[in-house]
Structure 1
C-alpha cells in the first residue's frame, strides 16, 4: 500500500514540473495556409538575418545579350547604393526550364530566378517558391491588372513582373495585295483563303524551286500560335479544335525560326514571306516604312498573345529580404522606363499607362488592349505553360497530328 502511494506522489510531482516548465506551450492543430506539398510553412521559413550581413546576390535570367547588359547597368546602381554585389547569370530558355525543374526540387537555386509569368502559379502550388510579399519591406508599384492573376495564389504574391511583350502580326502590304488581301486575315476562313491563294501562285510560278511561305513563327514557345488563334477569333482558353486541321495542312508553309532571326525582315520585304508573328519589341527594333504591323487581338478583347517575364524567389533562397529589395529597385517606375528605352519591352506597371508615358504612347495598336481588367492567362486548365509550349512545338513541327495534340492538351475533354 505504501509503495502505491509513492507512485501516485511521484506522478503528481512530475505533472506539476511539466506544467511549471512549459506554461507557454500549446498544441497547434491548424493545418496552415498552404497545402501539404509545401516544403516549409511560412512560420518555419528560416530567419535569414540577411539585412545587415548579405554581401552578394545570385540571380539567374533568360534574355538576349543586349537585355542582359541593360539589366546589369540598372543593377549596378543598386550595388552603388547598397554595397551588395549582384551576380547575374544568363541561360537559354530551354536550359533555364530544365535547370529550374532540378534546382527548385532540391532547393539549390539562386536567390532570384526569372520565368514566364504563366509559370508562376504552377511553381507556387508545387511549393517551389517563397511569397514575395512576406519579405517585401519596400512597397512596390501596382502591376498591370491583367498580370495580377498570374502572380497571386492562396492570398499571396509569388512573383514580381519585369515586363510584357505583346506578339504582333508583321507583314508587307505589297505582298498581301499580290495575294488579294489588304490586311492580315481575321478569321479561320480568311486564313484558309490566303493559304489557297499562296498555293495557287506557287503552282503557277515559272521558277517552282523558289519557296514562299505563309507565316513565320518561333516554334519554341506558344505565343506565336496564340497570336495566330487570336487573329482567327479563337482563344487558347476555349475550344480551338477547328483551327487544328487547318494547321496540319498549312504547317508545310510555315517558316519556323527563332524570334531573333534577322533574316525574317529581308524575307518579308522580298515577298518570300507573307506574314510573321513577332514580339512587339522586335518590330520596334527592326520595323521600317515598307512593312506594317497589326495586333491579333481586336478592340474590346483580351490580348492573350502577350509574354510576361517575372522574377521569383525560390524556396531555397538564402537572402529573401535583400532579394526583394533588389526586385523593388529593378521594377520601380524609373527603372522600368529605362528598361523600355534599352530593350523596347513594355513596362509591367499600371501607373505608366494611366496616362501613358511618351515612351509608350506611340504603340501601333490601341493601348487599351494592354490595360484590360481580365486575366490574360491563356492555357488549357491543368497544364503548365511549359507543357503547353512543348505541345505546340510538336504540333507545328509535325510530330503531333491534330488528334494527338488535342489529347495531349486535354482539349478533347472540354
Structure 2
C-alpha cells in the first residue's frame, strides 16, 4: 500500500510541474533550458515507424503566389508517399506572437515551420524546436551554402534547414535627367555630400515596412545593418521625410494614365531604389544599372532574407516531418521553386548552371555575387546584437522612419556583443 501511495503522490507532483508555462517574450532571455558549457542532449523520442503517414501540419510565412506553388509541390509529395500533409499560413507579427507561442507551448501549433531564419534560434532557445539531427540520422544539406547554417546553430546543434534566399538589390538609371552619368557614392563622406546636394528630394527609395530594405539602405550608406551609426540614421530619417513629401506631391498631381510605369514608379523620384531580388521576376530591367545593395565597409555581410524549415518539439511525427523537409530542399525542387517564385536556391550546385534558372542580367550581377559571399560568410544579422531581437528590429525601423521613435531611443536598443 505504501508503494501505491508514493506512486500516487509522484503522479500529482508531475501534473503540477507540467502546468507551469514558459515566458512568451522573445525579447528577453527567458528559456526553458539555459545554455551551458556543454551541448544539451536533444529530447529522446521513441522509434517512429517508417510508414508514419501523419497527419502533419506545416505553418508557413509565404505570400499568395508562393503558397499556391508550395501547395502544388506538396500535392506531389502526398501522391508519392500517401502522407497527410496540410499547409497553413503562419503569422508571427507582434500582435499575434503571444497566441502563436501559446499554441506551441500547448502542442497545438504546426509540426513544421517555414519562416524567416531570424526566428529559428529564438524558438530553439525557448525549447519549441527539435534539432535537425534528432529526427534524421544523416544531416541533410551537405551542399547548402555554408554561410546560411551558423544562424541556425545553437548549443552544439542545428535547429533548421535553409529553404531559399532573397538578397537585396539596388537599381539606378545610368544617366540622370540632365544627361549626366550617375556616379554612385563610395564612402560615408561621399554619401553625406550627395545628401546635401539633394536636400529637398529623396536619395534612396525603399519600403519602410521592410526591415531588410532598411538594413540594405544602412549597408549602402557604409553603416552596420545590425547597429546603424548615428550619421546613417540621420541620413535615412531625412530621406524618409523627403520621400513622404514627394509621394504626397505625386498623389496631388494628376497623372497621364498612358505613361508607362518604371520599376521605381510609385516610390518617388529617388535616384537609387532598393528592392528584393525576387521583385524583379516580372520586371524589365532594361536601361537600369543594378548591383547588390551594399557598401564597402561591411563587404562580407550582405543583407539577405533567408527562410528556413524547422520541426516543432511537440510533433508526433518527427521522421515524416524531416522526410517532407528533405523533399522540399532537394535540388530539383529548389530549381523549380526558384524559377517559379523568383527567390534564389540554397544549394550551391545550382549556381553553376544559373542560366537555366534565370535568363536575366541580374543573375550575374546579384545572384552570383550573393552566392559567392554566402559560401564563405554569414548574411547581416538584423537583431541589434541580440539573437532574439529581430521582431524588435523590424518594428523599431518602421517607427523610426515614421517619426514615432527618436534616433536616441532607437540606438538605446543596441546590445553589446556579450548578449549575443
Please tell me whether the aligned partners of residues 166 and 343 of structure 2 are also in contact (alpha carbons under 8 angstroms): yes
Q: Which runs of structure 2 are paired with 1:234-383 in the superposition (5 Å)?
A: 234-237=223-226, 240-254=229-243, 265=262, 267-268=264-265, 272-297=269-294, 301-354=299-352, 356=354, 358-359=356-357, 362-365=363-366, 367-372=368-373, 373-378=376-381, 379-382=383-386, 383=388
Cα separation, 2, equivalents of 1:255 and 1:293? 24
Cα separation, 2, equivalents of 1:80 and 1:216? 45
Shifted more, 122-131 versus 335-344: the winner is: 122-131
Deviations 1:304-342 (A, max 9, x none): 210000111122222111010000001110000000110
TM-score of the two chains, using structure 1 as the length reference: 0.76
Cα separation, 2, equivalents of 1:171 and 1:97? 38
What's the secondary structure of 2:203's corresponding residue? strand
Corresponding residue number in structure 1 for 2:209: 220
Please tell me whether the aligned partners of residues 166 and 279 of structure 1 are also in contact (alpha carbons under 8 angstroms): yes
Cα separation, 1, equivalents of 2:291 and 2:31? 46
Corresponding residue number in structure 2 for 1:197: 197
Corresponding residue number in structure 2 for 1:134: 134
Cα separation, 1, equivalents of 2:189 and 2:172? 19
> Structure 2 stretches of 5 or more lacking a match?
1-29, 35-39, 248-259
Structure 1 pair 298–188 and aligned structure 2 pair: CA distance change class (3 A): closer
Deviations 1:121-165 (A, max 9, x none): 222111121112211256523321111101111221100111000
In proportion to residue count, which structure has more helix?
1
Structure 1 pair 170–96 and aligned structure 2 pair: CA distance change class (3 A): farther
Please tell me whether the aligned partners of residues 166 and 306 of structure 2 are also in contact (alpha carbons under 8 angstroms): yes
Aligned residues: 363
What's the secondary structure of 1:394's corresponding residue? helix
Q: Which runs of structure 2 are paired with 1:364-403 in the superposition (5 Å)?
A: 364-365=365-366, 367-372=368-373, 373-378=376-381, 379-382=383-386, 383-403=388-408
Corresponding residue number in structure 1 for 2:33: 38
Please tell me whether the aligned partners of residues 150 and 378 of structure 2 are also in contact (alpha carbons under 8 angstroms): yes
Tell me by how many angstroms 1:366 deviates: 7.0
Structure 1 residue ranges (4+ consecutive) displaced by more than 6 angstroms after TM superposition: 411-414
TM-score of the two chains, using structure 2 as the length reference: 0.75
Tell me by how many angstroms 1:404 deviates: 0.7
What's the secondary structure of 1:324's corresponding residue? helix
Please tell me whether the aligned partners of residues 227 and 414 of structure 2 are also in contact (alpha carbons under 8 angstroms): no
What's the secondary structure of 2:224's corresponding residue? coil
Cα separation, 1, equivalents of 2:105 and 2:190? 46
Corresponding residue number in structure 2 for 1:144: 145
Deviations 1:203-243 (A, max 9, x none): xxxxxxxxx64333222332111111221222224662321
Determine which structure has more spread, i.e. the larger CA radius of gyration. Answer: 1
Cα separation, 2, equivalents of 1:48 and 1:69? 34
Cα separation, 1, equivalents of 2:47 and 2:173? 56
Cα separation, 2, equivalents of 1:166 and 1:126? 29
